[in-house]
A = this chain, B = another copy of it.
Amino acid sequence: MEKIVAGIITIGDELLIGQVVDTNSAWMAQELNKNGIWVGHRIAVGDVRVDIWQALDEEFKRASIILITGGLGPTADDITKPLLCDYFGGKMVVSQEALENVKKIFEKLQRPMIPRNLQQAEVPDVCTVIPNKRGTAPGMWFEKEGRIFVSMPGVPHEMKGMMTDSVIPALRQHFKLPFIAHRTLLTAGIGESFLADHIKTFEEALPSSIKLAYLPNYGMVRLRLTIQGEDAAATEGLIQAQFDTLKGLVGEWMVTDEDISMQEALGRMLTTRGKTIGTAESCTGGYIAHLITSIAGSSNYFKGSVVSYANEIKENVLHVSSSTLSTNGAVSEPTVEEMVRGALDLLNTDFAIATSGIMGPGGGSLEKPVGTVWVAVGNRQKTLTQKFSFRFDRQRNIELAATNAMNLMRKFLLLTD
């Protein structure tokens, strides 16, 4: 079966000056992959005509599908649409469909339209318009010598709506797509090299149709098996057998055998057990609560949090005793243990997570350097504590503290089963 290769071109000076992190490409790559399309290259270019043209030429040579985002906004630094019109040899015309959409959106927003907004309904006459239900800039579908070029706005939720509703279904119809399957598991508490060494024999014995990838992220390593084949059932059977072996090897380090996050895995464990949770956060500043509540349906097991950044909140709201704070300091085992108890009482949950640490860049001492974090997790009967020493920047220390605290909670849940 022929391998269908896609290229992704993202357009915008903001990508090259570094003021915007490109999250679109990762999302698009995921969607393409799920549908059996491999992404060969991703290119980011500025709002520069010659560079965009060159990127189109390069991808034309090596990809069958070229997805383009950005450069379609209503403001003057956007040059993509006229360029695409020239590239595919068309002329600009008003799309009635796109015009109705622009008018409808402005009616809904009850805002007056300006000429700049109306211009968004102009498209090259050589494209098929892709409806944009979430914004005013229409998408455009071009075909050239067997290649498909799709241009979409750079605003993530507009692009995502278009991809899901129109682009993916149209691509599935246009190409005869191979079958691709992935199996992913998440590990925590073991470094990449040690994990690789631990599963070396397994990796070496993998059939050539299966590929293993290591994806380290914030103290966790995701392992992904990928297979490509023509027969869905046989392919699924083959990868599942290897995945089961891998799970057995990874054992206690495995957080979940699904492609989900730590917070989602924790949420599922709580849901299964019919239990509730709350957090008492100092150094993580509400980040654990944010991660937990970023999952839809988390209100079924998450009741709330106290972010006790100041010591007086630890004392007055969570009832950590003043002698504990003065004797041991805020970053200490007794403090996080008392925070867990305070959270259980105040929030009336079955379980609680507590964190206290020094995230940097300031606030460290010889005894308690930046990166020192105490975590406690527990229920009314028992608490489990762990001390961590991270050695990174503030943002990463916060990420690592949150991830490791949730992992400790997960282990506690397993122990109390």
Contact A20 B197 (CB under 8 A): no
Task: Tell me if A396 is interfacial: C-beta within 8 Å of chain B.
Answer: yes
| Interchain nearest-CB distance for A370 vs B (Å) | 11
By a CB distance below 8 angstroms, the chain B residues around A286 are 279, 281, 286-290, 293, 305, 307
Residues 241-271 of chain A, each 1 if its beta carbon lies under 8 Å from chain B, else 0: 0000000000000000000000000000000
Please give, as numbers and ranges, the residues of chain B lying within 8 Å of A207 by CB-CB distance: none
Once the chains are docked, how many angstroms separate the CA of A13 from the CA of B304? 38
CA distance A226 to B156 in the complex (A): 25
- Contact present for A306 and B309 (CB under 8 Å): no
| Copies of this chain, tallied across the complex | 2
A222 CA / B18 CA spacing, docked (Å): 13
Task: Please tell me if the beta carbons of B25 and A22 are within 8 angstroms of each other in the complex.
Answer: yes
CB <8 Å contact, A196 and B116: yes
CB distance from A74 to the nearest CB of B (A): 4
| Minimum Cβ distance to chain B for residue A24 (Å) | 10
How far is it, in angstroms, between the C-alpha of A398 and the C-alpha of B44 when the chains are bound? 28
A19 cross-chain contacts in B, Cβ below 8 A: 26, 30, 184, 215, 222, 224
- Supposing A26-B15, A26-B19, A213-B13 touch, asked if A44 and B46 sit within 8 A by C-beta, the answer is no
A43 B41 Cβ-Cβ under 8 A: yes
A268 CB → nearest B CB, Å: 17
Whether B44 and A25, one on each chain, are in contact in the complex, defined by CB atoms closer than 8 angstroms, is yes
A23 interfacial contact with B, CB 8 Å: yes
User: A42 touching B43 by the CB < 8 A rule?
Assistant: yes
* Max chain B Cβ within 10 angstroms of own Cβ: one of A19, A134, A216, A286: A286
Q: Is A33 an interface residue (CB 8 A)?
A: yes
Min CB distance A397 to B, Å, is 10
A308 to B304, CA, bound (A): 5
Measured between beta carbons, the chain B residues less than 8 angstroms from A117 are 193
Given the complex of chains A and B, what is the CA–CA distance between A287 and B398 in angstroms? Answer: 13
| A1 in the interface (beta carbon within 8 A) | no
| Bound CA span A305–B314, Å | 11
A166 contacts chain B at the CB level, 8 A cutoff: no
* Known contacts A307-B304, A308-B304, A362 near B296 by CB under 8 Å: yes
Which secondary structure characterizes the binding site on chain A? mixed
> Contact partner of A40 among B46, B116, B156, CB < 8 A?
B46
A147, CB-defined interface residue at 8 Å: no
Taking a contact as CB atoms under 8 Å apart, the answer to whether B296 and A285 are in contact is no
The answer to whether A292 has its CB under 8 Å from any CB of chain B is: yes
Are B215 and A20 within 8 A (Cβ)?
A: yes
Give the chain B neighbours of A25 by CB distance below 8 A: 15, 18, 22, 44
Q: Residue A39 at the B interface, CB < 8 A? A: yes
Find the B residue at minimum CB distance from A305. B307
* A212 contacts chain B at the CB level, 8 A cutoff: yes
Contact, CB under 8 Å: A293 / B303:
no
- Which residues on B sit within 8 Å (CB–CB) of A212? 77
A68 within 8 A of B: no
- Measured CB to CB, the nearest residue on chain B to A158 is B392
Give a binary string over A167-182; 1 marks a CB under 8 Å from any B CB, 0 the rest: 0000000000000000
Instruction: State A45–B39 Cα separation when bound (angstroms).
Output: 9
Q: Distance (Å) between the CB of A408 and the closest chain B CB? A: 19
Q: Assess the B285–A309 pair: CB atoms within 8 A.
A: no
**6 A-B pairs with least C-beta separation:** A285-B293, A286-B289, A286-B286, A18-B29, A18-B30, A305-B307
A-B residue pairs in contact (CB < 8 Å), sample of 8 = A18-B32, A25-B44, A41-B55, A42-B42, A58-B58, A286-B287, A297-B362, A305-B309
